[in-house]
Structure 1
Amino acid sequence: MKNKKLLAVLPVMTLLISTVVGCESGSKKEGQPTSTAAATPSASPVTLTVEVFDRGVQGQPDLNNNTWTRYINENFGKPNNAVVKFVPVPRSQEIDKLNVLMAAGEAPDISFTYDSATVSRYAKVNGIIQLDDILAKHGKELTNYLGKTVLSYGLFGGKQMAIPAKRTSLAWNGMFIRKDWLDKVGMPVPTTRDELYNTLIAFRDKNPGGVDRVIPWGLAATGMNYNYGNLGESFWGKQSEEEFVTTPSWLRPGNKDALKFLNKLYNEKLISPDFALDKTAKQADADVTNGKVGFLIANWDYPLRQSISEPLKANVPNANFVPIDTFKNSEGKYKKIAYNENGVNIFIPKSSKNAELAIKYLNWMSDPKVLFFLQYGQEGVNHKMVNGIPQVINQTGDNMQTSNLNLDLTLVVNGVELGDPQKNIKALAASAPGLEDAAEKSYKINTTDTYTNFFYDTPSESNIKFGKTLGDMDKQMTDKLIVCKPAEFDSLYDKLVAEYMAAGGQTVMDENVKIYKAMQSNKK
């Protein structure tokens, strides 16, 4: 089902889920975990600083004073004579902001990023603390919870420099289409690229929603939560495993044709006209919730989430997004990327004076009761049990979670954690009330015919040096190629790719080959 040997570099999509959940806290409730041993009460409390993403969610509570932060300080802070202070970092600028904080020696005691190249760079310059000894002393439960495979993603040069979160949900992107629009234009669910193209034309010409400025395919700027999914995979030609793993996507056979297809769609007014200017995805969200969009690709459950589905239903009661699989390749497969078992990379900056307390905090968090409370809160107040699965019932005020299931606070896990994979899937689907069947179907589609990013067990010096620059170029190149005039596409593609390779792409590729060959040799 999933080939974990494939793919070296793909853009990392951010899971921006705005499901909001809540709970009561303050005093210890029944079912809350036993806290760690108390420190000497006469000593002054130690301040443990922890990074938290500021996602700019409308109506969000104080990120340092809400139901969840008070619970953390009551159940971990007080018994350890500590105050846990959260340091907000804008989600859209997290790497740039983190670099500034690290350079100034002001990064939080517990910092994190989804970008492994950034962690590699910090490890290379001796900017973060090696964690092997501290984990052995204070992280027994944490180590047991994550397991050897997940922890291996945090090894750099054979040393534990980061603590990867366990990812329980492996689905990445998802494709959705307005079934009510299909019914109005008399067309079936598209199952191939050509069928989708014809459907988008029908949406444009017939405007089945009767809206002003119909948008057949809703997009935002590259890197935001509206994207192209596995369109590229449906064009890719054959490569050896080594070529596929080490070669940037720009040189992959068929990649140019995939971008040319998107350029064709844009110039035929089948894609959001101003998508390249939408660098927050707010315009795309507005277009979707106002019923203007017929097809989109985003996170595997995005239009089913309450933050999208509820305003859409209020504006267009009959709107009905359904999951589909439409980008079939030449082998008749719907190849698509899925997440690896690891999630966000947690690390402790060298400037931290509280490394042991930081590991104790993560160790405390790995307790199943702590994770459950932070994700779902108190039964009867923040969730109810339905067929053994918790369902959210309070999502406002101090109980609001600015990321799905408090992703930004439950750092040791990315995704729901109920201790059983099938329950986890049911719980994920339950976050889309009334649309549970569609959510389960989408999860199944997007965990079939999948591959994952290839994990290099040795830090790439060139990727550390050029990774950020090349990542920024990736986004700019893609957007430029989609919106250019068709007659200019071929020459522009070749020019931009040459610039990309000269800016570090060739160096990264050469080192990828070197590391890959060494890894294969070590297996013999």
Structure 2
Amino acid sequence: MKKVVMPASCIALSLALILQGCSGSAGSETSEGAQGQGTVEPVGTYPLVKEKQTLKVFTKQDVNVEDYETNEFTKWYENKTNVHVDWEIVPNAAIKEKIQVKLAGGDLPDVFMSSPITDSQMVGYGSQGLFLPLNDLIEQYAPNVKKMFEKAPYLKHYLNTPDGNIYSIPNVGETYHSTMPKKMWIYKPWLDKLGLQVPTTTEELYNVLMAFKTQDPNGNGKADEIPLSGADGTNNGHNEPESFVMQSFIFFDRANYLMLDNGTVEFAADKPAYKEGLKYIRRLVQDGLLQSDAFIQDRKALTALAEDPAGSRLGAATALYWGNLTIDNGPSGRYKEYVPVPILAGPDGQRIGFDRGYAVDNGHFVITKNAKNPPLAMRWIDWFFDEENKLQEGWSDYLGQEGIAWKKPDPGVKGLDGRPAKYQTIIPFGTKNNNRWAQTAPRFQHEDFRLSQAATPDAQTEIRLLEATKNLYKPYSAHEKYVPHLYFSDEDLARFGDLQKNITTVVQDFMLKFVTGTLDIENDWPKYTKELENAGLQQYLQIIRDNYAKLEK
């Protein structure tokens, strides 16, 4: 796909238009009114206020943070800004329900931070005035956020809602390996024992799995091996088997079953290529190569196969990375023994890699109407969007304190990208501690910054994932087929939610029945397509196409 480089003047103009939103709108006036409610020191100076103020922050609990009140970064940032945080910490399992209760009851914090505010909530509650428009606040008080918009022009799809206002600041981590999350991992000790190579085509995969089933690779004399498995895909582990397999047949986005075909939004899950993919999956299940439970079991059951105390019983599995099918850094060491399988060439040689681009978590910083000093809230969050400055100051919300949680690398140490490294972790990621906020606050981690981590043994996870994605997945990227993020009007959103739910139910129900043999793919295909039409497929597509056309304009 051709890469277009915009001149700096065009980028600046685009940013100005994004921040301007709907010129003269009620949102702009509300923003100006909100700014008059509090005082803040000039941009670029600290502390943010002369007399200490309190910011009420609602956020979800990061399991790797011991105590937000006594956290070392909390204390450092309060001293720097003169802003005390009054925390409301909610467990991840209860966060969505708690947000809805807050919004419905009017008991609002000053800000929602790293809480999953949905698009529909932003559009609905933003238009009602519960969330403040951020356009003017960003323009006047958030130079780092503005720089992020310039460096990441793809964010334009996530910013302005239909009324022209920006109601949230996203969390942006340009994680290279996460752009193509539909991966497969195969157990190398079994390959080595049977003298096999990592498969590169769908037929080679079939043959390898058949060998796993019939040649006793775990050597216990029992036919107890599970050649291939997965999990139900309801978490972010990308464990669902169909998403990896379909990359050999058609562009497949399990989130919505949509794809772009020559600029037109199309539905993938009724196309002949999708049907052929189902036939291949059915063949694997029918011949005992793909565990039928792979579509419905949870990740815990999948991990139990790989981490069986008597030896792994799992030949291969689909997952974002090995830690979603084994115990990462676990005592068995099996997390090191599962190696990546490339996107497989299908029967006609096609490889159509699902590439979603950089993951953007929208709705991660929202200022509510209850905020006593909106400019202060904006200046407070803006600091988090400059990773280079954090290294210079010796403190990072994500890394922690220099000398305790991370350090500057010795001369000559290379980063993940082969260039001089900028930072080296001391406390590994995923370790519970009280020196940092981990992933609590939104931030902008540009790809160049992420790859500047020292390529030391502690960084083996990033190194392995970078190499696998670069060599085995990116060459087959079909990102041009990915339908970007879309906002909907209140009217469209009300219809779209029900339509998408109904269509998703039909696709998933029939997929499971087709691959397990409850229904015959050929004979029952007309029944499936009729159910899709009854669920509102054409209305669903029309809403998407209309809103995509607006986006393109």
Range of TM-score over shorter length: 0.7 to 0.9
Q: How does 1:113-262 map to 2 (within 5 A)?
A: 113=116, 116=119, 119-120=122-123, 122-123=125-126, 127-147=130-150, 149-152=153-156, 153-157=158-162, 158-170=164-176, 171-173=179-181, 174-210=183-219, 213-224=224-235, 225=237, 226-228=239-241, 229-236=243-250, 241=260, 245-262=264-281
Equivalent AA in structure 2 for residue 488 of structure 1 = L
Give the 3-state SS of the residue equivalent to 1:236 in structure 2: coil
Residue 386 of structure 2 is aligned to residue 392 of structure 1: no
Among 350, 355, 359, the residue aligned to 1:338: 355
Q: CA deviation at 1:75?
A: 0.9
Q: CA deviation at 1:378?
A: 3.0
Q: CA deviation at 1:178?
A: 1.6
Q: How does 1:62-73 map to 2 (within 5 A)?
A: 62=66, 64-65=68-69, 67=71, 70-73=72-75
Q: CA deviation at 1:365?
A: 1.0
Distance 1:143 1:501 in 2: 44
Larger CA deviation: 343-352 vs 153-162: 343-352
Distance 1:394 1:306 in 2: 24
The verdict on how the C-alpha distance between 1:151 and 1:426 changes in structure 2, with shifts beyond 3 A counting, is closer
- Per the alignment, residue 447 of structure 1 pairs with 474
The verdict on how the C-alpha distance between 1:118 and 1:309 changes in structure 2, with shifts beyond 3 A counting, is same
Residue 287 of structure 2 is aligned to residue 268 of structure 1: yes
Q: How does 1:47-62 map to 2 (within 5 A)?
A: 47-52=55-60, 60-62=64-66
Unpaired stretches in structure 2, ≥5 consecutive residues: 5-43, 253-257, 415-420
Q: CA deviation at 1:207?
A: 3.8
- Per the alignment, residue 304 of structure 2 pairs with 286
Distance 1:117 1:252 in 2: 30
Q: CA deviation at 1:510?
A: 0.9
**1:77-120 residue CA offsets vs partner (Å, 9 max, x unmatched):** 773332151532526x7555544443333465124438646544
- Per the alignment, residue 11 of structure 1 pairs with none
Among 481, 485, 503, the residue aligned to 2:511: 481
Distance 1:244 1:435 in 2: 37
Equivalent AA in structure 1 for residue 245 of structure 2 = L
Unpaired stretches in structure 1, ≥5 consecutive residues: 5-33
**1:275-312 residue CA offsets vs partner (Å, 9 max, x unmatched):** 44434x2222333344332222222xx2169983422x
Equivalent AA in structure 2 for residue 165 of structure 1 = N
8 Å Cα contact 1:236/1:255 also seen in 2: yes
The verdict on how the C-alpha distance between 1:48 and 1:448 changes in structure 2, with shifts beyond 3 A counting, is farther
Give the 3-state SS of the residue equivalent to 1:160 in structure 2: coil
Residue 397 of structure 2 is aligned to residue 370 of structure 1: no
Equivalent AA in structure 2 for residue 254 of structure 1 = A
Equivalent AA in structure 2 for residue 486 of structure 1 = G
The verdict on how the C-alpha distance between 1:420 and 1:277 changes in structure 2, with shifts beyond 3 A counting, is closer
8 Å Cα contact 1:176/1:295 also seen in 2: yes
- Higher radius of gyration, 1 or 2: 2
Q: How does 1:511-522 map to 2 (within 5 A)?
A: 511-518=543-550, 522=553
Give the 3-state SS of the residue equivalent to 1:447 in structure 2: helix
8 Å Cα contact 2:305/2:313 also seen in 1: yes
Distance 2:139 2:451 in 1: 32
Distance 1:110 1:249 in 2: 36
Distance 1:86 1:394 in 2: 26
**Alignment root-mean-square deviation, CA:** 4.0
8 Å Cα contact 2:319/2:325 also seen in 1: no
Equivalent AA in structure 2 for residue 104 of structure 1 = G
8 Å Cα contact 2:232/2:295 also seen in 1: yes
Equivalent AA in structure 2 for residue 375 of structure 1 = Y
8 Å Cα contact 1:105/1:351 also seen in 2: no
**1:52-76 residue CA offsets vs partner (Å, 9 max, x unmatched):** 255xx5xx55463464xx4134314
Q: CA deviation at 1:268?
A: 3.4
Distance 1:518 1:297 in 2: 36
The verdict on how the C-alpha distance between 1:489 and 1:375 changes in structure 2, with shifts beyond 3 A counting, is farther
8 Å Cα contact 2:184/2:341 also seen in 1: yes
Give the 3-state SS of the residue equivalent to 2:356 in structure 1: coil
Q: CA deviation at 1:220?
A: 1.0
- Per the alignment, residue 7 of structure 1 pairs with none
Q: CA deviation at 1:509?
A: 0.6
Distance 1:167 1:393 in 2: 21
> How many aligned positions are there?
469
Identity of aligned residues (%): 20
Distance 1:289 1:383 in 2: 32
Equivalent AA in structure 1 for residue 230 of structure 2 = L
Equivalent AA in structure 2 for residue 102 of structure 1 = L
- Per the alignment, residue 90 of structure 1 pairs with 92
8 Å Cα contact 2:251/2:354 also seen in 1: no
8 Å Cα contact 1:73/1:84 also seen in 2: no
Distance 2:345 2:305 in 1: 27
Larger CA deviation: 302-311 vs 218-227: 302-311
